[in-house]
Structure 1
Amino acid sequence: MDIVTKRLFLLSHCKGVSNQLLYKLYKIDPTLNIFYSLNDDEWTLYLNVKKDKVHAIKKEYNLIDFDSLYEKYIEHNISFVSLYDEKYPHLLKEISDPPPIMYYKGDISLAQRRHLISVVGTRYPTDYGKKALEHLLKPLIIDNWVIVSGMAKGIDTLGHETALHNGGKTIAVIAGGLFHIYPKQNIPLANVLMSSHLILSEHPPFTPPQKWHFPMRNRIISGLSEGTIIIQAKNRSGSLITAYQALEQNREVFAVPGSIFDECSSGTNELIQSGAKLVQNASHIIEELPINH
């Protein structure tokens, strides 16, 4: 393993180093020698990190036992990929804040496929939402599109399961680390994905999911994909966060319309009003992505 990957690995395990800080360090100096060469005042000036925090980070960095962690991950078939690695998902590299290192279990080549589409939505879909999901995804899966989602309850889970039931491939991006699958009811699904599909996380495996991990995770879901389908989302829901992140990333957003009397469709209807593509069938999605098809 090269020295930069090892440094990314170790820094990502330091509690005081957020992924944003790690990305800033990497952008300033891709060798990460800067971690050693900056003095305390420069850490404050360039990175807004105070002296006591810098000392805590460096102390933690030097205490991490790389070999034992690495062996533990190998034992559990967990791998990692850094931003400059050729296996790193190429679409994800294009976003403004790609994770400098990602941990994964499964087939990383799925994230390099030509056609990835993400699907997100409510945790409590109605029959209409479930039917709409199958109606839209089944033709895409048959056409070899990889389904990307976040393995949450509801639409996310149904997206992964629809891919499995129709002989397709699927990728889950999770909020915590790979040793903390959430929700627990999806552990059997996660085991299937880890064996023959793909689960990705920007956090080291021992990291329990935190509330703020979920909106961060959403930028990876949209960033991996050519477009994002929103099926049933309330106003101010996590799915809308994903939709707006997709727009910021210059990706297509597809929204399934719903009844004006259904709270579950208020967010998707609002997206359509704001300019998202109203979709009624899979061809509405494919025709918006003609360049790469």
Structure 2
Amino acid sequence: MELTDAERRLLALHYVFPVPLNKLNGLYEIDPNLEKLYVYKANELAHILRISVSKAIQIKDNLHRNADTPYDELYERNAITPIPFSNPLYPDQLRILIDPPAVLYAKGDTTLLTKKFNVAIIGSRKATVYSKKAMALIVPPLVENEAVIVSGLATGADTMAHEAALEYGGKTIAVLGHGLFHLYPKENRALAEKIAVNHLLITEYPPYVNPERWTFPMRNRIISGLSDVVVVTESADKSGTMSTVEHALDHGKDIYAVPGPITSLLSAGPNKLIEEGAKPLWNGFQIVGALVFNG
């Protein structure tokens, strides 16, 4: 993929300062092509980026230390496609976020980012066979209508969603909460490697970034942002799943929830969502019909 000089400078900055685009707005307002990136004094950079002078010194030092690093070539050698926010391949639906990723790092089939029908399927890391049975009814109609299944590669419901997409011949996007040099969780390494071949792994973090507690909530807004609708299978009342739902509501997305038995703690989340106005879901054709009708 061809990158402009401005995009290459963004890759260099993002490697040492991996923050969302809104954190760089001040810089782009006065230097749209980042032409002065290497000449700012530390106190100037601190003022522009609204960071401490010590942090600005660290960024400057790292930028100059790696000034000759051909990041685009480095990524290409590792089959990683960097997608800056200014690139045509960057998904339009992420641009409307309050805090869009400044760069996406992709591995696999990047044409999946251009598909018009994406469905996020999420739920508890402790999801039971009930979620798997539900997906057997939900995923096939979506796949038949060329929907891309989006999830977060976590254990439990996320894993089931990706595996269902593969099992029924569909396509899937896994949104990671870490860099592509670290596949997490370890038990999903084989699944991630399979997705990286004919499907898509995507993250807003440079390849070296380790999974951290705070990176996964940040990932959730991308899962929501990429998707037309969000489906919740099993989930506790308060969980990371619900943070994704909150992002989806902020973005005006439709929420579907799989009703569950009242005896299960993992039914609390979806059942409460239904009470609050989410659409109860028991078959994927409900989503297909709604999108066709609205589209």
TM-score by structure 1 length? 0.92
2:20 is matched with which residue?
Answer: 19
User: Counterpart of 2:291 in 1: which secondary structure?
Assistant: coil
1:133 is matched with which residue?
Answer: 135
Contact 1:174 1:201 in 2 (8 A): yes
Report the AA paired with residue 196 of structure 1: N
Report the AA paired with residue 274 of structure 1: E
Report the AA paired with residue 132 of structure 2: K
1:122 is matched with which residue?
Answer: 124
User: Counterpart of 2:231 in 1: which secondary structure?
Assistant: strand
Q: What's the offset of the Cα at 1:284?
A: 2.3
Report the AA paired with residue 19 of structure 1: P
Change in Cα spacing, 1:115 to 1:189, as seen in structure 2 (3 Å) is same
Structure 1 residue 214 corresponds to structure 2 residue 220: no
* Of 129-138 and 40-49, the range deviating more from structure 2: 40-49
1:62-211 to structure 2, matched below 5 A, reads 62-67=64-69, 69-211=71-213
Report the AA paired with residue 285 of structure 1: I
Change in Cα spacing, 1:289 to 1:26, as seen in structure 2 (3 Å) is farther
2:281 is matched with which residue?
Answer: 279
How many Å separate the matches in 2 of 1:47 and 1:291?
45
Q: How many residues matched?
A: 292
User: Counterpart of 2:106 in 1: which secondary structure?
Assistant: strand
User: Counterpart of 1:235 in 2: which secondary structure?
Assistant: coil
Change in Cα spacing, 1:68 to 1:2, as seen in structure 2 (3 Å) is closer
Report the AA paired with residue 121 of structure 2: V
Change in Cα spacing, 1:212 to 1:258, as seen in structure 2 (3 Å) is same
Contact 1:11 1:22 in 2 (8 A): no
Report the AA paired with residue 200 of structure 2: L
For structure 2, list consecutive stretches of 5 or more residues without a partner in the other structure: none
Percent sequence identity over aligned pairs:
36
User: Counterpart of 2:69 in 1: which secondary structure?
Assistant: helix
Report the AA paired with residue 20 of structure 2: N
* Of 162-171 and 48-57, the range deviating more from structure 2: 48-57
Q: What's the offset of the Cα at 1:278?
A: 1.7
Contact 1:172 1:200 in 2 (8 A): yes
2:264 is matched with which residue?
Answer: 262
Over the residues paired in the alignment, what is the CA RMSD in angstroms?
2.1
How many Å separate the matches in 2 of 1:23 and 1:47?
6
Q: What's the offset of the Cα at 1:38?
A: 6.2
For structure 1, list consecutive stretches of 5 or more residues without a partner in the other structure: none
Report the AA paired with residue 142 of structure 1: E
